[in-house]
Amino acid sequence: MKPPTPSKQSLPVLVAGDVLAVLLFVVVGRASHHEDGSWLFNLARIGSPFLLGWFAVAPFTGAYQLPPPRRGLWLRRSALTWLLGIGFGLVLRRFLFRDLVPPTFAVITLIFTGIFLLGWRTVFAVVSNRYRQTKLSVSSAR
């Protein structure tokens, strides 16, 4: 049996990191507003439109094309997915979940999801590229 390629091994890590980045935005937001109530319920309720938006857009922007291509292209794809996906999430929040989306919330959402998602994806790309380079240098030394 052929071992899985780094792409297949990396995809679940990348997806989990994206989910955690969005959920981190929700946790930080709830904590900064000192909101009460069920954390798990509100985590799902607040995070779901943004996760739905992200995963609805990601296949069309190449966000999960692995291994990551050149770092610049990877970051451009990630930024496009972030803008379109989180933007779509704001629309879903308003119309599907019937939550208000004041302009300040939209701006804060874009800023912090951008920091968390693009920061995470930058770290992933750097580590992934170093792993591939190390693997290539080890195999060429044989």
The count of residues in the chain is 142
Q: What are phi and psi of 74, to 5 degrees?
A: -60, -45
The amino acid occupying position 3 is P
Three-class DSSP labels, the chain = CCCCCHHHHHHHHHHHHHHHHHHHHHHHHHHHCCCCCCHHHHHHHHHHHHHHHHHHHHHHHCCCCCCCCCHHHHHHHHHHHHHHHHHHHHHHHHHCCCCCCCHHHHHHHHHHHHHHHHHHHHHHHHHHHHHHHHHHHHHHHC
Q: What is the pLDDT of residue 91?
A: 97
Q: What is the pLDDT of residue 37?
A: 72
Q: 103-141 vs 6-32: helix axis angle to the nearest 10?
A: 150
Mean pLDDT of 85-111: 94
Hey, what are 94's tokens? 């308003």
Can you tell me the distance from the alpha carbon of 89 to that of 109, in angstroms, rounded to the nearest whole number?
A: 10
Mean pLDDT of 33-45: 81
Q: Which residue has the higher pLDDT, 59 or 133?
A: 59
Least confident of 5-9, 37-41, 50-54: 5-9
Residues 6+ away with beta carbon under 8 Å from 98: none
